[in-house]
Structure 1
């Protein structure tokens, strides 16, 4: 997996329970990448990539198994993540999820579940992607990423904490399923969740040592199967990767949070 590193003007967000959309806003709202010339824009045979279309293809899973953002789209994706559009898109998805949730006729036996992924779904790793005042892609470094996770400083993804609170009001049981390591990251993950406002959940499932070799798709399917075997009905399932939403027992309805910076199988 390769990550986009975000630039200096990223605003580091606080980890208080009131983490908000404004924490992610910057004075950038780039809807389309800039072409080097009108010829680039008009010539369909030109090698210049339409980065808006590339992002759409990524989000719809039409481009799969990619390792790095194309060079010509790194600035565009950085502006997308740091500007108004990313938080707006997250809030829009959260709104659609809530509209669906309000219409679900819960059985009311304590087994009506809503599954949430953690990394870049409930909690944002955007501060980790910031480095070196530049846009560029780098190889995923597990050691560096775990060091970031152990800080417990990930803020809430825009719109998702509000959705979580509304789901609790509707009496859904929240099940968090994450690929974070059970042994080293459970305590700090619980701390991070509570610190930004996720105070209650039915289950918090992390990856144990026997599951280390599983792909994310296999792992998420396995964990959801355990939830269903325990008698829960998965009414909603939300994640930032397609591997969160495909496979066995995906739930009655799935919702994808935008994430064009990396692809996980």
Structure 2
């Protein structure tokens, strides 16, 4: 048992830095092992194709309106989000965002902005999912909001690096999240605590105004308001397709990986 615990803690310490340290601190009901391999003919090892293909379908938006991760893919998803590949994928997307951003001729009027989603884009909820399951359980509004109200979500490290680079380029930051207005104070506190110290606007969802509306409708409407105020959305990044679809999406959009849940 001590050996297994050592292996698990070692995995957490080496894969995701601060994010995984939070997973360890908050506890986890799930044991994470290296991605399982199956033996093919002649003793050659082949990957578990079905779950990898399912994740590709999700990220490419070929699989939509799904409610939970297939139960047979829970370990796969858990290992992915706690492993090196998730960090590498996040780094790649943010790097491409920076390559684009540095080509922009930033104006002197302070109206060039980059829109960031929050959950699984700037802040990570991996400690929550490590405790409650990697997307196989239906969304529990009460439990998730209890986690948000702790203000303990760590920063996604590659996004945070990108955020700092954008500030250095003179680009203003706008956070646009589906979190409700009542979580404004704790969200602002959480962002500042983990290093997101500066922003132009922090927009949370007015659940009365947008009751029954999709995330695409909500975020499109809020981006339209920004442009009506004279802002130019030069970039837009999120983990959900609903973050970057719709109207007023900006000059370029960037999709971060997230096989944990789907928001329409």
TM over 0.5: yes
Partner of 2:29: none
* RCO comparison, higher one (Cα < 8 Å, 6+): 1
* CA–CA distance in structure 1, aligned partners of residues 211 and 147 of structure 2: 20
Partner of 2:204: 206
The answer to whether 1:161 aligns with 2:160 is yes
Alignment of 1:86-101 (within 5 A): 86-101=86-101
Alpha-carbon shift at residue 28 of structure 1 (Å): 5.9
Partner of 1:146: 145
Partner of 2:191: 193
* CA–CA distance in structure 1, aligned partners of residues 135 and 222 of structure 2: 34
The answer to whether 1:23 aligns with 2:18 is yes
Alignment of 1:242-257 (within 5 A): 242-257=241-256
| Structure 1: runs of 5+ lacking an equivalent | 1-7, 13-19, 43-47
**CA deviations over 1:112-138 (Å, ceiling 9, x no partner):** 010000011000111111227x76721
- Paired positions, count: 240
Partner of 2:40: 38
Query: TM-score normalized by structure 2?
Result: 0.84
Alignment of 1:35-184 (within 5 A): 35=38, 38=40, 50-131=50-131, 137-182=136-181, 184=182
Alpha-carbon shift at residue 88 of structure 1 (Å): 1.4
* CA–CA distance in structure 1, aligned partners of residues 168 and 130 of structure 2: 35
Partner of 1:3: none
* CA–CA distance in structure 1, aligned partners of residues 33 and 84 of structure 2: 7
* CA–CA distance in structure 2, aligned partners of residues 136 and 165 of structure 1: 30
Which secondary structure state, in structure 1, belongs to the residue aligned with residue 128 of structure 2?
Answer: helix
**CA deviations over 1:180-236 (Å, ceiling 9, x no partner):** 111x20110110000000011001000112223211111111110111111011000
**CA deviations over 1:141-172 (Å, ceiling 9, x no partner):** 11111111100001111300110011000010
* CA–CA distance in structure 2, aligned partners of residues 84 and 135 of structure 1: 17
* CA–CA distance in structure 2, aligned partners of residues 140 and 165 of structure 1: 32
Query: TM-score normalized by structure 1?
Result: 0.83
* CA–CA distance in structure 2, aligned partners of residues 168 and 119 of structure 1: 20
Alpha-carbon shift at residue 176 of structure 1 (Å): 0.4
Which secondary structure state, in structure 1, belongs to the residue aligned with residue 155 of structure 2?
Answer: coil
* CA–CA distance in structure 2, aligned partners of residues 67 and 224 of structure 1: 27
Conservation of the 8 A alpha-carbon contact between 2:135 and 2:261:
no
Q: Which has the higher helix share?
A: 2
* CA–CA distance in structure 2, aligned partners of residues 108 and 51 of structure 1: 48
